Amino acid sequence: MSKKKIVVTGGAGFIGGNFVQYMVDKYPDYDIYNLDLLTYAGDLTKHKQIEDNNNYHFIKADISDRETIFSVFEKEKFDYVVHFAAESHVDRSITDPEIFIKTNVLGTQILLDASKHINVSKFLHVSTDEVYGELDFDPTVFFTEDTPIQPNSPYSASKASSDLLVRAYYETYGLPVNITRCSNNYGPYHFPEKLIPLTISRVLNDESVPVYGDGKNIRDWLHVYDHCSAIDLVLHNGANGEVYNVGGHNEKTNLEVVETILSALDKPESLIKFVEDRLGHDKRYAIDPTKLEKLGWKPTYNFETGIAQTIQWYLDNKEWWEQIISGEYKEYFEKQYSLKDNK
């Protein structure tokens, strides 16, 4: 395989960070550029092990800053763009939607323009199953790539808008693109504002776990390593213009997820605290991954093996999440959950 220059936007975040490490290890001959603004969700301490590698590079930049992005792209002449950078938390999009439009929509459009300008060989846009809206509880119905786009939150509306722009750059300008739409990820370096790392970190501190509504909403959990292998496959083998759903049939109610973690850590169910529901809370997500499987993808984890590995990782890496939950996060948590206190 010839040497490639790959820019990974959002490579200091959860999934982008795991993907950067996966690529640096797997392709020593590729040059991997992590382009990230380092918002509250980005941190570089996770890359301590690879920061001195010859094939890893970091560029601090804002994807919604056209001038900077163009000058970086003109200088580096990337072959591939793998685009993770985004505002990613649904709850934050409900309280403050505007930054989601700036980063997720405008930022994506600027990256598309810069990619067209230097004729990249692939623009892979990492999207989400949330663009399809919600499913009801019928376990035989799944999201396919043909499910209509019907986003319900400001976050998913911003991601759907960016998906449509990516499609338009393929149809209008022939930019070689792929869109991947993945279900909920979990695993190492998951920021503790999201359900699984929030539960693990709070339970380890004997603090209550806020469960929205009745806890019966369903998510389809995929270990981040399996998401990385899916993106690697689509990047190298995906047909231009195609969308690929990513998910491993691991549907769980939120209550089941929280109970699994409590039981693995031998903590009482009395730590569960039912709180006011999320506005517009999608009932169920569930992916049909047949198209990706036909391309050759197979996940390595199921929920049971993946959650055990993840809990162990949080036990072994307390210093990483403890530095996060002691900072600005504390203020966020108090503001977000004080509103929900009385159900």
Contact residues for ligand NAD, defined by CB under 6 A: 9-10, 12-16, 36-39, 41-42, 62-64, 84-86, 88, 103, 107, 126, 128, 159, 182, 184-185, 191
Angle between helices 254-264 and 195-204 (to 10 degrees): 30
To ligand DAU, the closest distance from the beta carbon of 85 in angstroms equals 12
Q: How many CB atoms lie within 10 A of CB 37?
A: 18
Angle of CA points 129, 196, 82, to nearest 5°: 45
Nearer residue to ligand NAD within complex by CB, 85 or 203: 85
Specify whether 130 is catalytic: yes
User: Which residue number places its CB atom closest to ligand NAD?
Assistant: 13
Q: Reduce the secondary structure of the chain to three states and give it as a string.
A: CCCCEEEEECCCCHHHHHHHHHHHHHCCCCEEEEEECCCCCCCCHHHCCCCCCCCEEEEECCCCCHHHHHHHHHHHCCCEEEECCCCCCHHHHHHCCHHHHHHHHHHHHHHHHHHHHCCCCEEEEEEEHHHHCCECCCCCCCECCCCCCCCCCHHHHHHHHHHHHHHHHHHHHCCCEEEEEECCEECCCCCCCCHHHHHHHHHHCCCCEEEECCCCCEEECEEHHHHHHHHHHHHHHCCCCCEEEECCCCEEEHHHHHHHHHHHCCCCHHHEEEECCCCCCCCECCECCHHHHHHCCCCCCCHHHHHHHHHHHHHHCHHHHHHHHCCHHHHHHHHHHHCCCCC
Write down the catalytic residue from 22, 132, 155, 225.
155
Nearer residue to ligand NAD within complex by CB, 20 or 311: 20
Among 1, 2, 44, 52, residue whose Cα is nearest residue 24: 52
161 counts as binding ligand DAU under rule CB under 6 A: no
To ligand NAD, the closest distance from the beta carbon of 268 in angstroms equals 28
Specify whether 80 is catalytic: no
**Residue 64 partner contact from ligand DAU, ligand NAD, none using kind-dependent CB cut-offs of 5 to 8 Å:** ligand NAD
**Residue 16 partner contact from ligand DAU, ligand NAD, none using kind-dependent CB cut-offs of 5 to 8 Å:** ligand NAD
* Residues within window 13-52 making contact with ligand DAU, judged by CB under 6 A: none
- Contact code string over 59-88 relative to ligand DAU, x by CB under 6 A: -----------------------------x
* Residues within window 175-214 making contact with ligand DAU, judged by CB under 6 A: 183-184, 194-195, 198, 210-212
To ligand NAD, the closest distance from the beta carbon of 164 in angstroms equals 15
**Residue 107 partner contact from ligand DAU, ligand NAD, none using kind-dependent CB cut-offs of 5 to 8 Å:** ligand NAD
230 counts as binding ligand DAU under rule CB under 6 A: no
Partners of 127 in the β-ladder: 181
**Residue 100 partner contact from ligand DAU, ligand NAD, none using kind-dependent CB cut-offs of 5 to 8 Å:** none
Which of the stretches 24-32, 58-66, 123-131, 289-297 binds ligand DAU when contact is defined by CB under 6 A?
A: 123-131
Give the rounded distance of the alpha carbon of 342 from its chain centre. Answer: 30
Specify whether 220 is catalytic: no
273 counts as binding ligand DAU under rule CB under 6 A: no
**Residue 278 partner contact from ligand DAU, ligand NAD, none using kind-dependent CB cut-offs of 5 to 8 Å:** ligand DAU
260 counts as binding ligand DAU under rule CB under 6 A: no
By annotation, the residues acting in catalysis are: 129-130, 155
What residue ranges bind ligand DAU (CB under 6 A)? Answer: 88-90, 128-130, 183-184, 194-195, 198, 210-212, 217, 219, 254, 278, 285
